[in-house]
Every structure is written in structure tokens, then in C-alpha cells.
Chains A and B, each alone.
Chain A
Amino acid sequence: MEGAHRPGGAAKGLAWLVALYLVLPIGIILPVSLTDQRFLSLPQEGLSLRHYATVLTSTEWLGSIAQSFWIAVGSTILAVVAGTLCAIGCWRISRRATDLVRALMLLPIIIPSIVYAIGLYRYFAGLGLLDRFLGVVIAHGVTGIPYVIITVSTALAAFDPRLEQAARGMGASLWQTLRWVILPRIAPGIASGAIFAFIHSWDELVIVLFIASRDVFTLPRRIWDGINENLDPAMAAVAVLLIVFTVLLLLLDMALRRRRDAP
């Protein structure tokens, strides 16, 4: 817009500095991962892929990647099914009656993971779920529900409630209304929620530190050990792979949103 208010030079400069502060440290990992040295450093004489080779041929790293992946898949399914149904129910029932439910569902974002982690440590010991695949899936699934609820609720806010009334009025049962009218309309929101729930599980460390030890050894857990024990460039290679993966998922999410917003 002509004549619009624009930030001044100082504000612009500060914004650039902040953006660099956010992005540069993450970007610096890429050259470090390509170093030809045996320790964490910038490449000295040339670029090398040897550290990627180390990671991609290590059964330990690959095992952890596979484990993290399947845990994320399992917990995402759990979070998406429970979260989507709950968001729809809350949306349809009057706002005030479900305020408490909504608040409950957002707790995992508000309460620090450390509190939940020590709670589960004790709780799962009683249930025999410590260091078990199922235990981690449940923990990540439950804590992933808020992400699904938030994105699905946003999608539902744009959904015309009369469509649901129209469907019921024409004789559709609740199940038919869900399957043919509501779910197709909010599918992009569900997909967004699934992506965030997946990233949440894929990156989660604090809970895993407490409820898993040997049999379940996820990727974040292996990175944690790596940072605390031997800071070698292989870690940088893993980090780059993780960044690429996350960025791809985010781009997918943006593409989905754009398709949803398209007329």
C-alpha cells in the first residue's frame, strides 16, 4: 500500500540481526557436518561426506532412527484419532460445557515434561511399561493430542455449523455426518495436526530419558548421549539429517495449508 507505515532503519536492522541469530547457528551445522577433520570444526582442506557415511552405516544410529520413526507413527495415530474426535465433540457441544475438557487437553503443552516424565517413571513401573515400545507410544501419543486439538479446532472454526445441521436434517446419522461432511472438510487441519504430533514424538527427549533405557533407545536419546559423551562430527551429520527432515515436513504442512486456503 502506498504511503503505508513501514519500520524505520533501526527496527529493520534489529529484525535482521534477530533473524540471523535464529537461523545462523542452525545453518552453521551444515559446513561442520561436511568437515574433513576428525573433530568438530569447519572444513579445512575440502568437503567430505565421511561423517554421513559413519552415521548411515552404523547399526546403532539406524536402529534408533527406525525406532523413533515407528514410535512417532504409532503415537501420531493415537493422537490424531483421539484428538480429532475430541475436537469435533467439543466444537459441536456448547462452548461453556466443554471449556474444562479443552483446558484439560491443553495441559501437556503447559505442564513441563520433566513433571510428567517423573510421574510416568513411577506409574509405568507399576504397569510394567518401562522401557517398552508401547509405553513410549502411549506417552508421546497423549502429549501429542494438544497439537491435533489445536489444528483441528482451527479448521473447525472455519466450518459452517449449518452444514452439519443440513446433513442431520436430511437424515444423516452422526457417523454419516462425520464421514461424509465433517471429516472431508477438515482433512487439511487433521493433516497439520498429524505433522505436528509426529514432529513432537520424533524430537521428544525428556520423557524418554525417564521411561526408556536399553531396549527402547530413540534417536533424540542417542543424540543426547552423543552430546554428553563424544562431541564428534557424526553428530553434526545427524543434526543436518534431522533438520532436513523437519523442514520437509514443515514445507508439506505449508503446502497443505495453501491448498486449504485456495478458493
Chain B
Amino acid sequence: MAAAAQRQTGWWLLILPAFLLMTAFYVAPILQVLAISFTEPQPGLQNYERLFTSESVQRVIGTTLRICLITTALALLLGYALAYRIALAEERVRRWWILAVLVPLWISVLVRAFAWVTLLRRQGLVNQALLETGVIAEPLQLVWNEFGIVVGMVHYMVPYAVLPMLASMREIDPRLLAAARGLGASRFTVFARVFLPLSAPGLIAAGVLVFIFSLGFYITPAILGGGKTLMVAEWIGLQILDLIRWGLGTMMATVLVVAILTTLAIFSRAVDLRRLFGSGA
């Protein structure tokens, strides 16, 4: 047994650098700052009492949950349509469709938020086009509100929804679908009775992924919300940078982390993060 243990030591040493880096420069800072929620301004749970007493804290959480659920639902719907098309496409065409998912996925979130501002603001291209064609008389308020946030967030999340769903759809044996058609099922029946149930694991995984990514999302809501609609991440930043209320900010950060880890734990079987990046291209 000593021999086996000795043989493994070398391999454990390979893990060591990443482990030390991750512990010293990732886990330690996070644990340290989350601990502040129990110690500042004075030791105790008074920061967490705000969850039940402060209307503004509750409003932020409510807004965040509402936007996240809407975003998740829309991203799943749109993502499913796209994944369905890609999964059933011929090899040659499929590559282009996948590119349409991967390119937005990897393009800077800032650039994408900027694109939406260009399109949706009061003097933006959409309002201009609608005004010029006479559809509307007054510019529409398309951004710096919840609508703008949802448009931008769904845009960001659709690729994350597509990849796990696509991975699970690609595992469906196409002969099964052909066989169902051959047995006399209509296109819709094949979809509803065969394809949809078989792709359900991917759908759940995508839902969990999009939901937890949305919960802590900072940049897009900050830009497209224009400071008027606050979500949790921006609210935390505000507490720390502008109001210097570390206790409150870290309390909300703790709540956020706990919410995400709980969601993941519940659905841990459905979500395999490694798949997301492994099988896309």
C-alpha cells in the first residue's frame, strides 16, 4: 500500500499549484468578506434582520427574482427553438448555426450592452426608424428600465441556454425520430411525445444555469438599467463603493452565494458545467 500511496504523491503535487492559488486568492478573499456580514458594523445578525425589516432590501430581491425568472423563461424558449433547429440540421449547415451561438457567447458583454444602448435609447436606431416610418409619434422608453434589462440579459443568456440543450439533443438517436414518423406519428406528435421528453434533462440543466448566472449578473443590468432599476449585484456594488456599508453589502453577497449554491445542490444531477464548454464547437 505504501507503494501505491507513494506513486500517487507525484500526481497530487500536480494539483498543488492550482489548489494553493485557488485557496489563497479565491476562497480566502470570499470567505473573509462574507464573514464581515456578521461583524460589521457590530457583531451579530442585525444585517440579516434587514432581510425582514427593510423595504428597500426586499424590493431589490423582489426585482432581481422577477427579472431572473422572466429572463430564464424567455432564454429557455428562444434557446430551445434555436437548439432544436441546430440539432436537426445537416452537418454542413449546423456549423454555421453553432457559430451564430458561439460568437455572441464570447463577444464582450460590454460590447453587447453597448450595442443595445445604441439601438434602444431615446435617440437610438429603433426609435428613429419607428418615428421615420410614422409608426409612433413619440420615442418609446425602451431602455433604462426593466424592459431594457430583460432584452439585454436574454440576449446574453440565450447561448448559455442553447449549449446544454444542444448537448442533450445531440444524444437523441435520429433513427428514433425517423422510426416514430414511420410508425405514423405527425411531426408535432414526434416532437411532443419523443423529442421533448428526451431533451428534458438538457432543458432543466439550461434553466438552472441561466437562472444562477442571472442572479449575480452585474454589467448588463447596470448599463441597461441606467441606475433606476437595481438588481442585487449592482446594489451590492453601490453599498460597498458609494455608501461604504460593508455589513449590508456583504450580507446580500452571502445571500446571493447561498441562493446559487442551494439551487445548484438541488439540481446538481442535471447540470454538468464541463459539458458546456467541451461540446459546443
**Direct contact between A and B judged by beta carbons closer than 8 A:** yes
Q: Would you list 21 pairs from A and B whose C-beta atoms are within 8 A, ordered by A residue?
A: A3-B178, A3-B181, A6-B88, A11-B84, A18-B79, A25-B115, A26-B115, A40-B118, A82-B18, A85-B17, A86-B17, A93-B11, A106-B274, A111-B260, A117-B237, A123-B28, A154-B278, A210-B240, A227-B110, A231-B117, A239-B108
Chain A interface: which of B43-51, B98-106, B199-207?
A: B98-106
Chain B interface: which of A45-53, A54-62, A245-253?
A: A245-253
Mask of A194-224 contacts with B, CB within 8 angstroms, 1/0: 0010010011011001100000000010011
Cβ of A170 under 8 Å from chain B: no
Between A and B, how many residue pairs show CB distances below 8 Å? 279
Contact-residue size bin, chain B (C-beta under 8 Å from the other chain): 35 or more
Is the beta-carbon distance between B26 and A116 smaller than 8 angstroms? yes
Is the beta-carbon distance between B107 and A246 smaller than 8 angstroms? yes
List residues 192-232 of chain B with CB under 8 A from any CB of chain A. Answer: 195, 212, 215-219, 223
Residues of B within 8 A of A (CB): 8, 10-15, 17-19, 21-22, 25-30, 32-34, 36, 78-79, 81-82, 84-86, 88, 97, 100-104, 106-119, 121, 123-125, 128, 155, 158-159, 174, 177-178, 180-182, 187-188, 190, 195, 212, 215-219, 223, 233, 236-237, 240-241, 246, 249-250, 253, 256-257, 260-261, 264, 273-274, 276-279, 281
Quick one: closest B residue to A116, CB to CB? B30
CB distance from B150 to the nearest CB of A (A): 13
List residues 245-263 of chain A with CB under 8 A from any CB of chain B. Answer: 246-247, 249-250, 253-254, 257
Cβ of A105 under 8 Å from chain B: yes
Measured between beta carbons, the chain A residues less than 8 angstroms from B216 are: 111-115
Measured between beta carbons, the chain B residues less than 8 angstroms from A117 are: 237
Supposing A25-B115, A25-B116 touch, asked if A220 and B110 sit within 8 A by C-beta, the answer is: yes
Inter-chain CA distance A235–B82, complex, in Å, is 31
Supposing A110-B264, A114-B218 touch, asked if A28 and B118 sit within 8 A by C-beta, the answer is: yes
Mask of A114-154 contacts with B, CB within 8 angstroms, 1/0: 11111111111000000000000011011101010111011
CB distance from A106 to the nearest CB of B (A): 6
Quick one: closest B residue to A106, CB to CB? B273
Is the beta-carbon distance between B217 and A112 smaller than 8 angstroms? yes
Is the beta-carbon distance between B187 and A88 smaller than 8 angstroms? no
Is the beta-carbon distance between A5 and B178 smaller than 8 angstroms? yes
Is the beta-carbon distance between A21 and B155 smaller than 8 angstroms? yes
Query: Which listed residue, A112, A122, A153, A257, touches B29 by the CB 8 Å rule?
Result: A122
Cβ of A167 under 8 Å from chain B: no
Is the beta-carbon distance between B111 and A243 smaller than 8 angstroms? yes
Supposing A3-B178, A138-B25, A150-B274 touch, asked if A22 and B100 sit within 8 A by C-beta, the answer is: yes
Quick one: closest A residue to B97, CB to CB? A19
Quick one: closest A residue to B28, CB to CB? A123
Is the beta-carbon distance between A114 and B253 smaller than 8 angstroms? yes
